[in-house]
């Protein structure tokens, strides 16, 4: 090799290193920019809750059912094509007979108020913008290391939070009633990204040999998607518990506080929240099963054995068992409702410990790439 050729190769190497460093800096800038936009979205969601009021439907329902005189209001007679027609007084169902509940979904965070709705739409627009910027940050990180950006906890965190927001926006695009989820989602996304850029940040680097496999794209991508959907389900489950307690208190003649009333009456009914949580958890459970199987196959390729009860493998299996128990409980009459919801929250806690606790505090074959 001539000296000129060696110099050319060194120059190419230096250029590649400089390019990768530049892309890493671009990724960092985009992630910080996404955090800034998410912060604006957070305040817009707060404004939606603050400036939104009780819906006109809710106020009308209260007026129609609050007094015996209102409940005995006469029917309405109207002219109809030269004759008359009798319309029954509109029946507003707020609760079914004693022992059962038929509570309609609330109007949402905006409370049916036009100003609140405007702030909510602004919040969603900002969330979508931040999502696009965050996707750019993840892609730039991948380009800087020329691999999938899932080699350490920092990369997993920024991808996980981005996918979680993507799941939320996808549900909105499918016309699902999930706008109430926005404030809780963005709050935790900001916390997650804050931890990522301050505590978990790791400079761009190449993967350890065990991770050089196409199974990285299959196993880790499905794990991230499952975690994001499990998170959405956990938020729905937690809110279900609050809303169920609120409805129980009303059913027993109690008077919840003004803040609890203003907040909880805007959410979907407890039955709707319970159904939502169950559906998202049930939908993603088969994918979590595949994730564990894919991880076992990858372990066979990398370490020569499919299962070794490594801490990460063990807690992945514990998480699977916990969600299986939840799905079974939802199908068992005596365990529906709150009991099943507690199991769902325990299952998600297992998933969180499998990610944060095992990676940080427990040593094993998955303890690579630092944090």
This prediction's pTM: 0.80
Mean pLDDT value across residues 200-222: 79
Contact 178, 109 (CB under 8 A): no
CA distances from 330 to 105, 231, 267, 340, 341 (A): 21, 18, 22, 6, 9
Rounded distance, CA 18 to CA 21, Å?
5
Instruction: Kindly state the percentage of the chain with pLDDT values over 70.
Output: 77
The size of the chain, in residues, is: 371
Q: Is the pLDDT of residue 297 over 80?
A: yes
Q: Is the pLDDT of residue 4 over 70?
A: no
- The token duo for 131 is 């999502």
pLDDT score, position 337: 85
Q: Is the pLDDT of residue 278 over 60?
A: yes
Q: Is the pLDDT of residue 14 over 60?
A: no
Contact 200, 371 (CB under 8 A): yes
* Coil, strand or helix at 329: helix
Mean pLDDT value across residues 130-156: 89
Rounded distance, CA 212 to CA 284, Å?
27
> Count of CB atoms within 10 A of residue 193's CB?
23
pLDDT score, position 253: 83
Mean pLDDT value across residues 80-97: 44
pLDDT, one tens digit per residue, over 220-277 is: 899 999 999 999 999 999 999 999 999 998 888 888 888 888 888 899 999 999 999 9
Q: Is the pLDDT of residue 79 over 70?
A: no
pLDDT, one tens digit per residue, over 36-78 is: 999 999 999 999 999 886 544 444 444 444 444 444 444 444 4
What angle do the packed helices 182-198 and 3-51 form, to 10 degrees?
Answer: 150
Mean pLDDT value across residues 347-370: 76
Q: Is the pLDDT of residue 204 over 60?
A: yes
Rounded distance, CA 72 to CA 61, Å?
14
pLDDT score, position 54: 52
Q: Is the pLDDT of residue 97 over 90?
A: no
């Amino acid at each position: 090799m001539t000296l000129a050729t060696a110099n050319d190769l060194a120059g190419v190497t230096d250029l590649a290193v400089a390019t990768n460093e530049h892309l890493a800096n671009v990724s960092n800038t985009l992630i910080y920019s996404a955090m800034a936009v998410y912060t604006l979205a957070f305040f817009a969601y707060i404004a939606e809750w603050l400036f939104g009021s009780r819906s006109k439907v809710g106020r009308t329902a209260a007026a129609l059912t609050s007094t015996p005189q209102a409940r005995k209001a006469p029917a309405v007679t109207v002219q109809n094509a030269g004759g008359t027609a009798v319309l029954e007084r509109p029946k507003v169902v707020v609760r079914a007979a004693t022992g059962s509940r038929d509570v309609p979904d609330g109007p949402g965070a905006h409370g049916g108020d036009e100003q609140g709705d405007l702030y909510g739409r602004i919040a969603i627009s900002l969330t979508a913008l931040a999502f696009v910027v965050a996707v750019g940050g993840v892609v730039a990180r991948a380009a800087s290391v020329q691999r999938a950006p899932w080699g350490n906890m920092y990369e997993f965190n920024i991808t996980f939070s981005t996918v979680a927001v993507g799941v939320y926006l996808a549900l909105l695009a499918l016309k699902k009633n999930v706008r109430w989820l926005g404030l809780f989602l963005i709050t935790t996304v900001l916390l997650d990204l804050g931890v990522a850029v301050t505590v978990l940040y790791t400079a761009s680097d190449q993967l350890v040999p065990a991770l050089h496999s196409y199974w990285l794209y299959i196993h880790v991508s499905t794990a991230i998607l499952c975690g994001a959907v499990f998170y959405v389900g956990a938020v729905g489950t937690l809110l279900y518990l609050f809303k169920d307690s609120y409805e129980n208190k009303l059913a027993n003649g109690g008077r919840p506080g003004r803040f609890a009333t203003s907040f909880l009456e805007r959410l979907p009914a407890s039955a709707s929240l319970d159904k939502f949580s169950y559906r998202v958890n049930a939908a993603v459970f088969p994918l979590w099963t595949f994730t564990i199987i894919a991880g076992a196959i990858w372990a066979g390729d990398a370490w020569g054995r499919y299962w070794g009860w490594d801490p990460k493998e063990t807690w992945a299996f514990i998480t699977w068992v916990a969600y299986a128990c939840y799905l079974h409980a939802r199908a068992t009459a005596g365990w529906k409702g709150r009991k099943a919801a507690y199991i769902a929250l325990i299952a998600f806690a297992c998933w969180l410990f499998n990610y944060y606790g095992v990676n940080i505090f427990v040593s094993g074959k998955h303890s690579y790439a630092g944090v």
